[in-house]
Amino acid sequence: MAEVTPALRAQAVARRPDAMRVAAEFLGVAGLERLIEAGFEVNSAGLDGRTVLHQAALDGDAAICQWLLTHGADRSIRGRCAISTSG
């Protein structure tokens, strides 16, 4: 992988703060590993305040949750989003 400069990393995170969540959903652990290599944080949150750990837990994806926790995900982070339980 080509070297990622701090400026490029900041630009990527600013443009796609939800990249970690999207990677987990569509690419799994392999996608998460690549983004972390590129400088994304395991605890980064999308515009709605959800981290990838929040989303993986909501999706019931125990494997992604365990991988994230092993790689430093902070389970104490509280999202800004409100989850509706009414249907």
Q: Where are the domains of the chain?
A: 6-70
pLDDT in tens, 6-54: 888 888 888 988 899 999 989 999 999 999 988 889 998 888 888 999 9
The pLDDT of 55-77, averaged and rounded, is 94
User: What is the distance between the alpha carbons of residues 28 and 79, in angstroms, rounded to a whole number?
Assistant: 22
> What pLDDT does residue 79 have?
67
User: What is the distance between the alpha carbons of residues 87 and 75, in angstroms, rounded to a whole number?
Assistant: 27
What's this model's pTM, rounded to 2 decimal places? 0.78
Query: Three-state SS string across 64-86, please?
Result: HHHHHHHCCCCCCCCCCCCCCCC
Superfamily holding 6-70: Ankyrin repeat-containing domain (1.25.40.20)
